[in-house]
Amino acid sequence: MDVKTETRARILDAAERLFAERGVADVSLREIGAAAGQRNNSAVQYHFGTRDALVRALYEDRLAPLNRRRLELLASLPEDLPATGPGALDALDRLVDVYVRPLAEAMRDGRADSHYARFIHRFTLEGAPVTPPLGAETTGGVREVLARLDAALAAAAPGQAPARRALRLRLMHLLVTATLADTERRLADGVEIDLPFDELIGELKAAAVGVLAEPEPEPGTDPGPGTAPESGTGIGTGANPARASGGRAHGSRAGSRAASSSSARRKSAS
């Protein structure tokens, strides 16, 4: 790695950490440069230009491998996953897996000092879009899986407003990033994690599918969670495949460096 490339990498690492800790708007480029070990106050501007360009570069650097993994997982799925009927929940679970697993794997297998999950979650809370406006080489995978999830929800509930589907997809994104950000923080703090990795993914998928598949109540009624409507979504059957299988995700176990949000609450006093 040449000096310029190494300097850019250090600046990106410093930006990721400071943005995760304090938010994008509350960190100056000078602070990022200092945290990256740069004596020149204009080092960040020299390498990236503007704050927006720095955020874009951070996304591009971190999202590219996640995009490749998502495209790989998408390629393994059939094109005609059922949107209604007995197989609809399992199909939704498989699509959610494509969304969740790459980010969870990056948290587990990435740099020991990674703050990426925390950065993504905080930036989303600041109003960032679920899918940043970047090229297909960076976001093609996430765009495709979100489009397929949206299409599945639309097919299952033709009368559902697009705004409601968009809200549910954003809620899913917030749920996933919040859980992984909390787990990433706990790992960084040296908290001993005792839940196998695939069980984290299984719990996270179960919750995400619940957000997406919860049937809309009939006007003037409150059917409660997990109750199938007499007419409507065709997904809200009250049975979640990830939950029904003991919270485990598809695939083999992959170690024990992750925890569900319920485990985090139990250990929060430690």
Query: pLDDT by residue (tens digit) across 164-180?
Result: 999 999 999 999 999 99
The series of mean pLDDT values per 10 residues for the chain, 270 residues long, is 89 96 94 95 94 93 92 92 85 94 90 90 87 79 92 89 94 95 91 86 94 77 49 43 40 38 39
Query: pLDDT by residue (tens digit) across 52-105?
Result: 999 999 999 998 899 999 999 999 999 888 888 888 889 999 999 999 999 999
What is the percentage of the chain residues whose pLDDT exceeds 90?
53
Q: What is the Cα–Cα distance from 270 to 257, expressed in whole angstroms?
A: 17
Read off the pTM: 0.77
Task: Find the largest Cα–Cα distance for the chain.
Answer: 66
pLDDT score, position 236: 47
pLDDT score, position 255: 40
pLDDT score, position 224: 56
pLDDT score, position 174: 95
Q: What is the Cα–Cα distance from 124 to 45, expressed in whole angstroms?
A: 24
